Amino acid sequence: MHNFDFVKPSSIAEAVKALSNEGAQALSGGQTLTPTMKQRLAAPSVLVSLTGIAEMKGVCLGDDGLSIGAATPHAVVAAEAAKHYPALAALAGGIGDPAVRNRGTIGGSLANNDPAACYPAAVLGSGATVVTNKRKIAADDYFQGMFTTALEEGEIITGVTFPVPEKAAYVKFNQPASRFALTGVFVAKFKGGVRVAVTGASNNGVFRWSEGESALSSNFSGAAVAGLKVDAAEMIGDLHGTPEYRAHLVKVLTKRAVDAAR
């Protein structure tokens, strides 16, 4: 790995200033960025650790939903969100392994937007709001394709606010070596309708399965999606599964998520 200057600010304002340096890169839990740097696929000249910023940590239920600080590790979300939003807590508790969950953060996962990561499915499936140091971004505008987001240069995710649905569940078909989602589906039933977000399956990253949403909005049962067919055209094909296999998983996992929703 190439060398860099390491800085660890204690406030968002200091972090924004540090990120204005040429070649600066934000570091959260580092569970993806560190291996990426070891492979020299990333070589920042300044690394700005965001894990020392107290105002970016914690889980808190407010009027507009459940707010989670961007630098909150998965293990903390798994424990502290459980009584407010069990489907989200269960998703956080199924990422990677215990040591990864003690370091990896929700903000880091969203900023990276890995096409097989779990959190993007929860954020898009809940219609959550991504809060940055500059603005609030609706989930529907935030995810813009594989590893691509609405974030601008030097913009930091400071937190995420989740509206809490009546019922929800996330079901992941594990890639057993990496424990990323071979395909994962997040289903959330709100008063106004149902949202279905799919990760791990598409070449365009996380997406909403609109046909599934319409069917489930009029009849929230696994049977409602049984007659639908998911198009395999944009699905990922690799040694773990063909596009057709992933398209099939979308439907199967949606049904399982509906059955599991509580």
Partner 1 sequence: MTKVTMTVNGKAVSGEVEGRTLLSAFLREGLGMTGTHIGCDTSQCGACVVHVDGKAVKSCTMFALDAAGSSVKTIEGMANADGSLGVIQQAFQDHHGLQCGFCTPGMVMSSAALLAENPKPTEAEVRHYLEGNICRCTGYHNIVKAVLAASGQDVSSVAAE
Q: Kindly list the residues in this chain that would bind partner 1 in the complex (CB under 8 A).
A: 1-6, 8, 27, 30-31, 34-35, 37-38, 47, 49, 51, 75, 96-100, 102-103, 177, 179
Query: At closest approach, how far in Å is the CB of 13 from partner 1?
Result: 20
**Nearest CB to partner 1, comparing residues 73 and 243:** 73
CB closer to partner 1 out of 107 and 212: 107
Nearer to partner 1, 35 or 237 (CB): 35
Cβ–Cβ < 8 Å for 63, 164: no
Q: In whole angstroms, how close is the CB of 255 to partner 1 at the nearest point?
A: 25
CB of 97: closest distance to partner 1 in angstroms? 3
Toward partner 1, which CB reaches closer, 77 or 188?
Answer: 77
| Smallest separation, CB 204 to partner 1 (Å) | 27
